[in-house]
């Protein structure tokens, strides 16, 4: 027989009492952190700490730090700009001048040539070591060699152009306006070149003879299709007569030269006689900005890392020359003792750049704005 009596409900277990064991020191600090007592602030000792403390007390915690930081940056920028006034920078210079003589050095590397092809007259070659030409009447090839001084040849008319200058030589171009004569002197290196004579243009040489000892006693006509080639000594020259008419004026374009040029006369007893003539076209400019206008008789010295070239040269009553190249020094003045440096410095580049000026003023502007905000 089933037992239908109600079963007693289970009795709940008595609650567990918390442990009264002592807590560890680490647990005591975690559960009951010790209050930190305010300590005495350490007074600022260094100059920078004093500046920050004074700025914070006047403009607030954040604005004070901004004012000091921006002020320090502004001082560094000002000192840097002061230093840049003494540092020369390499700049692209363009020099337009009117001269009576231009002396330059041919680079050791490269291909420097003078004159676009032009018909000239009364061509005289001096300091000739060898010369060769063909006689028009007989077709005989004549080869003459130097045996005495002066060794020179005169050719009545020829087409002159693309004259290749020997590397490392010193070249002087001088114009004589009264006689309309241009003289090209090549020093320090032998010069090997040729010109194309006009048809039956006579040539006459002195101080030269053939291998048999035969010398020229009268002018001989030359063949236009055959070149007159020549080799000079280490002080050779070529003088040419030109007409003041289109197509008969010697011109030169894009001839490489050494980037160290002194515009003084090479034939002067004084080494500081200027070759600059009076002209409104005399201009020296850097990066497209006009810097100076050289006057007649002033000395001008240009130097730099290069490259430099004769961008254009036109022969007339004077030499109208345009030089272009990378230079870091342009000295000009009336005498060697009174030369002024005109090459731009880093500061000159800075003051012509609006973006650089705005960037350098940015810390000062931010510092002023922080100071104004902190005073409110």
Contacts of 161 (CB under 8 A, 6+ apart): 115, 116, 117, 118
Average pLDDT, integer, range 181-206: 94
Q: For the chain, give every domain's residue range.
A: 56-87+345-376, 90-109+250-343, 117-249
DSSP H or E stretch at residue 185: strand 181-187
Query: Which one is predicted more confidently, 116 or 375?
Result: 116
Work out the angle between the directed axes of helices 61-84 and 354-375 (0-180°, nearest 10). Answer: 150
From CA 207, how far away is CA 191, in angstroms rounded? 18
pLDDT band of residue 44 (cuts 50, 70, 90) is low
From CA 55, how far away is CA 61, in angstroms rounded? 8
The fraction of the chain above a pLDDT of 90, given in percent, is 53
Please determine, for residue 100, whether its predicted confidence score (pLDDT) is greater than 80.
yes
Burial 60-72 (b: 16+ CB within 10 A, else e): beebbebbbbbbe
DSSP 65-128: HHHHHHHHHHHHHHHHHHHHTT-B--EEEEEEEEESEEEEE--SSS--EE---EEEEEEEEEEE
pLDDT band of residue 65 (cuts 50, 70, 90) is confident
Task: Specify the residue for token string 């567990």.
Answer: 16
Over residues 133-144, the pLDDT tens digits come to 999 999 999 999
pLDDT at 6: 62
Please determine, for residue 371, whether its predicted confidence score (pLDDT) is greater than 90.
no
Please determine, for residue 2, whether its predicted confidence score (pLDDT) is greater than 60.
no
pLDDT band of residue 239 (cuts 50, 70, 90) is very high
pLDDT at 243: 84
Asked whether the beta carbons of 100 and 168 are under 8 A apart, the reply is: no
pLDDT at 79: 87
Over residues 278-315, the pLDDT tens digits come to 999 899 998 877 788 999 999 999 999 989 999 999 99
pLDDT at 224: 87
């Amino acid at each position: 027989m089933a037992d239908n009596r109600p079963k007693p409900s289970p009795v709940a277990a008595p609650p567990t009492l918390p442990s009264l064991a002592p807590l560890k020191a680490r647990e005591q600090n975690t559960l009951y952190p010790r209050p930190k007592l305010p300590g005495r602030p350490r007074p600022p000792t260094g100059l920078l700490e004093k500046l920050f403390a004074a700025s914070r007390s006047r403009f607030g915690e954040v604005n004070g730090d901004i004012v000091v930081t921006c002020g320090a940056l502004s001082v560094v920028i000002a000192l840097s700009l002061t230093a840049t006034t003494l540092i020369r920078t390499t700049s692209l210079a363009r020099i337009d001048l009117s001269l009576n003589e231009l002396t330059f050095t041919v680079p050791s590397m490269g291909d420097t040539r003078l004159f676009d092809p032009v018909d000239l007259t009364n061509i005289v070659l001096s300091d000739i070591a060898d010369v060769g030409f063909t006689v028009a009447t007989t077709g005989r090839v004549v080869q003459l060699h130097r045996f005495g001084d002066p060794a020179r040849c005169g050719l009545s008319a020829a087409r002159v152009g693309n004259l290749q200058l020997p590397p490392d030589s010193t070249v002087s171009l001088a114009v004589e306006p009264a006689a309309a004569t241009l003289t090209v002197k090549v020093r320090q290196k032998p010069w090997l070149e040729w010109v194309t004579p006009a048809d039956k243009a006579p040539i006459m040489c002195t101080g030269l003879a053939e291998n048999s000892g035969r010398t020229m006693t009268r002018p001989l006509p030359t063949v236009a299709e055959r070149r007159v080639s020549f080799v000079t000594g280490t002080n050779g020259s070529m003088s040419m007569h030109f007409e003041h008419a289109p197509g008969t004026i010697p011109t030169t374009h894009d001839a490489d030269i050494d980037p160290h040029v002194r515009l003084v006369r090479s034939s002067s007893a004084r080494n500081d006689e200027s070759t600059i003539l009076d002209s409104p076209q005399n201009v020296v400019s850097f990066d497209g900005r006009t810097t100076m206008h050289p006057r007649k008789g002033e000395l001008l010295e240009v130097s730099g890392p290069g490259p430099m070239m004769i961008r254009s040269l036109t022969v007339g009553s004077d030499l109208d020359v345009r030089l272009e190249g990378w230079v870091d020094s342009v000295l000009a003045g009336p005498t060697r003792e009174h030369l002024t440096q005109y090459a731009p410095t880093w500061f000159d580049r800075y003051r012509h750049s609006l973006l650089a000026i705005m960037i350098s003023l940015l810390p000062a502007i931010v510092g002023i704005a922080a100071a104004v905000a902190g005073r409110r």
